[in-house]
Chains A and B, each alone.
Chain A
Amino acid sequence: MFGPRLVPDDTTIPFMNGRFAGLIVSAVLSISSIILAFYPGLNLGIDFRGGVAIQAHMKDPVDFTKLRPALEALHLGQMELQEFGSPYDVEIRLERQPGGDSAQQEAVTKVRATLERNFPDTTLPSVEAVGATVSGELFQNGLMALGVAMLAMLGYIWFRFEWQFGVAATATLLLDVTKIVGVYGLTRFEFNVTSIVAILTIMGYSINDKVVVYDRVRENLRLYRRMPLRELIDRSINETLCRTIATSGTVFLAILPLAIMSASTLREFAIVLLVGIVIGTSSSIFIAAPILLLLGEGRLRRPSPAGAAEQGAGGSAQ
């Protein structure tokens, strides 16, 4: 009835032996991520920074020696020009124009007119102009969304499990999120509203993974009343290991084509998701579980003498 196994039955890997190693590696990665986020800093998109981003598609390959002076003559401050996907496409990014919200609009009009005059038959597949008010709000809303999502999950897990589970899961999520931010810092991918969505997706995926392991821990806590917590957590991870790998593997495979095939915006998104799946899955085992062990020892269960006999094996659950 069933096919081959991803993980052999009765695998017993002593994951909790590496609990400190896991936490230390994670802490180091997260701290370097935070440093990366400030130095050199994130490549903030116009969603959060304000300004203008225009993609132009030209009839002939883009002649930067002609385009740059033409646009610089408009005196629109700092400007980035970048080939975009093909030699015919260029992305023009302007810093936020001083002088309020309507200043962005005036800049767009000027650039459009200049392109029409100097490069006939140019089309603009995408124009985005964001003023200071809106960019500030988008940033605030993005942070709020992340914060609220975090609190909601803390609350739910606290309610359904014990507080140790909720705190451990939330702390792990925080570490996960900082690492994702680090990925944005390292790759220089544009950090914008879509990035917030990516982080939320990874948070959702990661918490899902934690709930599955915790659920098994909770079940085993009822089942083996005398087993030391450390052994019990190891057992729970091993029991769910097959499903963890199967689920992560399929989701990874489902997203992989998107990362390979799609155009730049969606591709960056997909790549971040792939990294996020690896981070989210490994953190269930190497971070969420050790934190639970540290918090739960002596609270969820009395520390039992080493080698305590297994109890309740074969007892029917529920």
Chain B
Amino acid sequence: MFYTRWQIIAIGLACLVGVMLALPNIVGQNVLRFLPFERQIHLGLDLKGGSYLLLKVDTEAAERERLENVLDGVRRVLRTANILYTDLRIEGGAVRFKVRDSSRIDDARAALQPIVGSAAAPEYQITSGEGGELALTPTEVVARERANDAVARSIEIVRRRIDETGVNEPEIARQGTDRIVVQLPGVQDPDRLKRLLGTTAKLSFHLLSLETPAPGAPAPPGTEYLPGTADAGHGGGRYLVQRLVDVDGSHLTDAQAGTNSQNGEWVVNFTFDSVGAREFGAVTTKNVGRSLAIVLDNRVISAPVIREPIFGRGQISGRFTAAGANDLAILLRGGALPAPLKIIEERTVGPNLGADAIRTGIYACTIGGAFVVAFMIFFYRLFGVFASLGLVINLCMLMGLLSLLQASLTLPGIVGILLTVGMSVDANVLINERIREEARKGRGPVSAIQTGFSKAMSTIIDANLTTLLKMMILFMLGSGPVKGFAVTISLGIMTSMFTAIVVVRLFIALWLRRARPKALLA
């Protein structure tokens, strides 16, 4: 039970740092400025209020679309090479077709080389099947890379879109292979954000077809029917557009909502980069008098008539509201998502609910803590006082660590703190009972305390390490609430072991040195 001066100073410093780190959570705003540490505990959304969205990147849809492009490419290549084929289709994640004349299979393979890519790192694999069938399958490496890339780019675009809406401190993170977690503190009505995130925002310009097929007849080759956007007042209407994309939205450099100077309607003004400007200029020069459909995610926003050649800048009109024009501008500025996003989980909590939980949590912890202190002091007297002091330091250190690490405190986390109080009490009870037992065996105070601590230690370590081990595994495996719970308890176990075994022991040692008691038991 002897501590050197340096040991005492080191332990004292550790406690002091713990208390200092915890202070920002306790003092008011006006004192906060004078503290060396300002970090407060980071509250989870369930306590702070806000919206949690789990998004799934539909990489399969993106892959399907890519295969459709490959299919077009294959058709073009085979036609150019004059190879007759049948049964060109997408099936089982591959583009398949049959070569009519089996002697030309090698020619077909050669013709497909530009699509397949370089021999060193091919993008597609050609396999031959029965009856002269050839199949182009994306190689595994490429498919994985693309999926990966799609998620990474989606996160980037999600972030841009959310930033534009002015949400404070959004958290956007990847989860697993194809998921994105979006946490929006303070957002109570996530409808607008959900709409923004749920829109792929693929913009393209197509000329309207000049043909007028009989009603009910299918769209002529090279054209397709696209519906109009409902909110632009064309609900139910459809447009016959040319399939060929004249200019696509990836060439936009800027988009801003504004009003049309002539009729005061809300519009979106956009600017093209140099390639886009050239393409757009070429199309509009050649087709003055025709209608150009502005298509967003396969829906026609509007199809104005080209009055004069347009270079560089353009305007999208479509009976927008101010909010609608603004949102479209945000979507166009942020760029299109590489794959559609689906919202697969939503949890939105209002600020009052969380505040209530914190308030009752604090009350309950305070009253519970008071019970514990009263209990300890009643049954263990002075040793109970030491234990209670240890408990307070323990809670401070835990709060300090949580603030320092910025781990989110969630509702289960509050329960974790309660369990920590329990563990801390248990350690002290174990020690005190053991000291008492040793004293009853006739040991003197110093010997009883020393043996009591050393014997209780192995029990405390076993009891705590079992839980710590379990919590670490849970942290690695678990998600969301379970993870927050595991973090709080793991930290709590470490601080409670430290305070029980080191700090409380120091208190008792200092007391022994000063008081020099003759006996522990009356």
Contacts and interface: CB of A to CB of B under 8 A. Distances in A.
A152 B469 contact: yes
Given A101-B343, A197-B415, A257-B364, A109 B191 contact: yes
Given A126-B348, A149-B473, A157-B466, A242 B433 contact: yes
Interface residues of B, number: 84
Given A105-B194, A145-B474, A273 B357 contact: no
Contacts of A109: 191
A1 B415 contact: no
Contact of A253 (B188, B353, B368, B459): B368
B371 A262 contact: no
A262 B466 CA distance: 30
Contacts of B425: 247, 250-251, 254
A300 interface: no
A108 interface: yes
A225 interface: no
A156 B465 contact: yes
B363 interface: yes
Contact of B466 (A153, A219, A255): A153
Contacts of B465: 156
Interface string A243-258: 1001101110111111
A6 B485 contact: no
B211 interface: no
Contacts of B459: 211-212, 215-216
B517 interface: yes
B455 interface: yes
B212 interface: no
A52 to B, nearest CB: 9
A78 interface: no
Given A126-B349, A204-B467, A208-B463, A2 B380 contact: yes
Contact of B430 (A138, A144, A243): A243
Contacts of A104: 346
Contacts of B426: 208, 212, 243, 247, 251
A14 B357 CA distance: 45
22 contacts: A1-B522, A108-B346, A124-B188, A127-B346, A127-B347, A129-B346, A130-B345, A133-B56, A138-B479, A141-B477, A142-B482, A156-B465, A156-B469, A204-B471, A243-B433, A251-B425, A253-B375, A254-B372, A255-B368, A257-B367, A266-B361, A266-B411
Interface of B: 54, 56, 188-189, 191, 194, 198, 342-350, 352-353, 356-357, 360-361, 363-364, 367-369, 371-372, 375-384, 411-412, 415-416, 418-419, 421-423, 425-426, 429-430, 432-433, 436-437, 440, 454-455, 458-459, 462-467, 469-471, 473-474, 477-482, 485, 489, 517, 520-522
List of 4 A-B pairs having minimum Cβ-Cβ separation, nearest first = A254-B368, A125-B350, A251-B422, A258-B364
* Chain A interface main SS type: helix
B482 A197 contact: yes
B521 A2 contact: yes
B440 to A, nearest CB: 7
Contact of B348 (A127, A203, A215, A256): A127
Most central of B346, B436, B485 by chain A CB within 10 Å:
B346
Most central of B345, B346, B372, B411 by chain A CB within 10 Å:
B345
A262 B418 CA distance: 14
B45 to A, nearest CB: 11
Nearest to A262: B360
Contacts of A257: 363-364, 367-368, 371
A215 B479 CA distance: 33
Contact of B345 (A2, A134, A256, A265): A134
B481 A193 contact: yes
A134 B54 contact: yes
Contacts of A216: 459
Nearest to B414: A266
Interface residues of A, number: 80
Nearest to B441: A314
A303 to B, nearest CB: 27
A215 B458 contact: yes
A212 B376 CA distance: 19
A221 B172 CA distance: 56
Contacts of A186: none
B346 A124 contact: no
A65 interface: no
Contact of B353 (A3, A126, A130, A205): A126
Contacts of A3: 377-381, 384
Contacts of A247: 422, 425-426, 429-430
A317 interface: yes
A262 B376 CA distance: 25
Contact of A265 (B382, B411, B440): B411
Given A208-B466, A270-B364, 12 more contacts: A2-B383, A3-B377, A3-B384, A6-B379, A102-B342, A128-B346, A131-B344, A149-B473, A204-B489, A211-B459, A258-B418, A261-B363
Interface string A281-318: 00000000000000000000000000000000000011
Given A3-B379, A205-B419, A211 B357 contact: no
B485 to A, nearest CB: 5
Interface in A64-100: none
Given A127-B347, A128-B347, A2 B422 contact: no
A263 interface: yes
Contacts of A55: 353
A2 B346 contact: no
A239 B378 CA distance: 21
Contacts of A141: 477-479, 482
Contacts of A243: 426, 429-430, 433
Given A212-B430, A215-B459, A250-B429, A207 B348 contact: no
Given A1-B383, A255-B368, A246 B433 contact: yes
B363 A263 contact: no
B422 A133 contact: no
Interface in A232-247: 239-240, 242-243, 246-247
Given A124-B350, A126-B348, A258-B364, A197 B481 contact: yes
Contacts of A193: 480-482
Contacts of B377: 3
Contacts of A255: 364, 368, 418
Contacts of A265: 357, 411
